[in-house]
Amino acid sequence: MIFVAAGTQDGRELAGFLLEQGYEVTASVVSRYGEQLLRRYKGIVVNEKPLDAEGLKAYLKEHGARLLVDASHPYAANVSRNAMDACHALGIPYLRYERASTPVAYPKVFRVGDYEEAAKRASELGKNIFLTTGSRNLKAFKESPYLRDCRIVARVLPSSEVISEMTAMGFTPKDIVALQGPFSQGLNEELFRQYEAEVVVTKNGGQIGGADTKIAAAEALGLPVVLIERPPMEYDNVAGSFEEVLSFLKGRL
């Protein structure tokens, strides 16, 4: 069995690709929506239960995993660390599927290392902050002392769980943009205008994460962008395409 940490669109597509190549695949996701999307692949096994470090190791051992492909989000550093630790403990190969970053040439892009630094930098650039960083780290912005006097608008998936969490944090409906991508440059521009954005905060999730169209839209409007860099990681093995993943599997199994 090949275990795929598949919490992203390309991770799900990779799991389906490997299934179609004749491999027995278990795809692990962290949301019911992700599980529903994976059901399109006939014969795939889906784990939707969160797995901490020990839980992952136990799951891999119990189900006889022969190799782990880590196609988690580029910013999910803890998932990758736990995956490598589990593979080392069990003596099975680990492979990281890493999507390419978006090249950035816009001079008004300000690179930062984490969410706290992003909040501080954004506060120095404007008062209306438009977040396109997802829902998992909104608290770092909502509770930042630097953004106390700023308006924070966040674009997130239209999930009832996410909206409930945001409401509990103090977000009001007028500051929640609940939409599912992909977003074109034109749509990003219109949203930035509509919500009177003065600063855009995003991550470099690559083209599939929409970083290219977000930055292009901000550049077209002359808006500064605070770009949270990917966390530094040293992976055991890395592949940048589905074909490279397949080649690795054929060489190890």
Q: How many domains does the chain have?
A: 2
Provide the CATH number for the domain around residue 86: 3.40.50.720
**Which pLDDT score, from 0 to 100, does residue 155 have?**
97
Same domain, 84 and 16: yes
**Which pLDDT score, from 0 to 100, does residue 219 have?**
97
Query: What does DSSP say about strands 176-178 and 238-239: parallel, antiparallel, or unpaired?
Result: unpaired
Same domain, 216 and 148: yes
Same domain, 117 and 222: yes
- Residue 132 near residue 200 (C-beta atoms within 8 A): yes
Same domain, 200 and 186: yes
Same domain, 59 and 158: no
Same domain, 223 and 236: no
Same domain, 170 and 114: yes
Same domain, 144 and 210: yes
70 by DSSP, 3-state: which? strand
Same domain, 236 and 222: no
Same domain, 87 and 127: no
Give the residue ranges of DSSP H helices in 104-146.
115-125, 138-142
- Domain, as residue range, for 94: 2-100+232-252
CA dist., res. 101 & res. 209, Å (int) = 9
Q: What is the DSSP string of 216-244?
A: HHHHHHT--EEEEPPPP---SSEESSHHH
**Which pLDDT score, from 0 to 100, does residue 88 have?**
96
Q: Give the pLDDT mean for 171-195.
A: 95
**Which pLDDT score, from 0 to 100, does residue 134 have?**
86
Q: Give the pLDDT mean for 207-224.
A: 92
Same domain, 223 and 237: no
Provide the CATH number for the domain around residue 160: 3.40.50
